[in-house]
């Protein structure tokens, strides 16, 4: 799953297209997107790994999945899955899934669950964790879409490391203060990650993700693979406590 921060980074690159009129939308699968032709982009938004182009009566969601990417005024050798054309420019999306929805994004998505959204509600996330996921381990619970949106393996790994919590800890055993610190760490890291994508320094800013040794105590980093999500978590067995 792409980090929500990656989609926010891409969305920020498109701000100049807000208010512009699309000349044509095209898709590799030849799906009919003519509803978008000659209409104005009212707003640009994101929800987790979805980028949202908002028009008057409907909106477009572009799902970046595990490996989606985007190019402005450039193309890859393979055909784009979806493109938005403008009089003097174009936006091309690769390995993405595109859908049109009637109405507004608010009708479909719970923005208070998105760790990158200003409306993110940490208190709500905490109470959901404690109420519905008390018997779950925190590593899996961080990927629960009903609690957190925008969380990928990188944010999850770094937030757990910063909060010094082992991902296999059961939520009911983790002190509330530690859970609050974990949620704050995830939100802060997700925000910083947008800048790291911008400056192309994601790898150098991650402390243990895809690293061999803990920067603090030089312990060997362990890798856990989730059977449910196939996602990877990196763990320092010395720094991160199992509750």
Sign for the pseudo-dihedral over CA of 194, 195, 197, 198: positive
From residue 43 to residue 62, the character string flagging contacts with Zn ion as x (rule: CB under 5 A) and all else as - is --------------------
Does residue 218 touch Zn ion according to CB under 5 A? Answer: no
| CB distance 85 to 28 below 8 Å | no
Binding of Zn ion at residue 7 (CB under 5 A)?
Answer: no
Q: Which member of 76, 172, 238, 241 binds Zn ion (CB under 5 A)?
A: 238
- CB 214, min distance to Zn ion, A: 3
Output 198 or 211, the one with its CB closest to Zn ion. Answer: 211
Distance CA 97, CA 95 (A): 7
Q: Which residue is nearest to Zn ion (CB)?
A: 214
Nearest distance from C-beta of residue 105 to Zn ion, angstroms: 40
Among 195, 201, 217, 220, binds Zn ion (CB under 5 A): 217
Candidates 78-86, 90-98, 193-201, 235-243 — which segment interacts with Zn ion by CB under 5 A? 235-243
Q: Which is nearer to Zn ion, 13 or 238 (CB)?
A: 238
> Alpha carbon 243 to chain centroid distance?
27
CB of 155 to Zn ion, least distance (A): 19
Q: For the stretch 149-177, what's the b/e string if a residue is b when 16 or more beta carbons lie within 10 angstroms of its beta carbon? A: bbbbbbbbbbbbbbbebbbebebeebeee
Spatial CA neighbour of 67 closest among 95, 27, 99, 98: 95
Residues 1/66, Cβ–Cβ less than 8 Å: yes
Task: Examine residue 239 and tell whether it contacts Zn ion (CB under 5 A).
Answer: yes
Q: For the window 177-216, what string marks contact with Zn ion as x by the rule CB under 5 A?
A: -------------------------------------x-x
Q: How far is CA 43 from the centre of its chain?
A: 19
Q: Which of 60, 143, 179, 236 binds Zn ion (CB under 5 A)?
A: 236
Question: Which residues are within 8 A (CB) of 170 and not within 5 positions of it... i.e. 6 or more apart?
Answer: 134, 135, 136, 137, 138, 243
Give the interface with Zn ion as residue ranges (CB under 5 A): 214, 216-217, 219, 236, 238-239
């Amino acid at each position: 799953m792409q980090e929500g921060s990656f989609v926010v980074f891409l969305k920020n690159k498109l701000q100049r297209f807000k208010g512009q009129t699309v000349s044509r939308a095209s898709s590799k699968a030849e799906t009919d997107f003519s509803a978008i032709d000659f209409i104005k982009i009212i707003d640009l938004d994101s929800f987790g790994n979805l980028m949202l182009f908002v028009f008057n009566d409907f909106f477009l969601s572009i799902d970046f999945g595990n490996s989606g990417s985007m190019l402005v005024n450039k193309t890859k050798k393979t055909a784009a899955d979806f493109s938005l054309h403008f009089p003097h420019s174009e936006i091309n999306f690769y390995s993405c899934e595109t859908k049109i929805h009637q109405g507004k994004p608010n009708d479909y998505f719970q923005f208070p669950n998105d760790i990158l959204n200003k409306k993110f509600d940490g208190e709500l996330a905490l109470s959901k964790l404690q109420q519905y996921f008390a018997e779950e381990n925190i590593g899996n619970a961080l990927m629960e879409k009903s609690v957190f949106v925008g969380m990928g393996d990188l944010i999850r790994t770094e937030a757990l490391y910063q909060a010094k919590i082992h991902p296999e800890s059961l939520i009911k055993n983790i002190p509330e203060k530690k859970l609050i610190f974990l949620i704050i760490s995830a939100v802060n890291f997700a925000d910083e990650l947008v800048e790291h994508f911008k400056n192309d320094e994601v790898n150098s800013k991650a402390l243990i993700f895809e690293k061999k040794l803990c920067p603090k105590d030089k312990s060997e980093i362990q890798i856990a693979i989730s059977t449910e999500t196939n996602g990877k978590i990196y763990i320092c067995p010395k720094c991160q406590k199992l509750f």
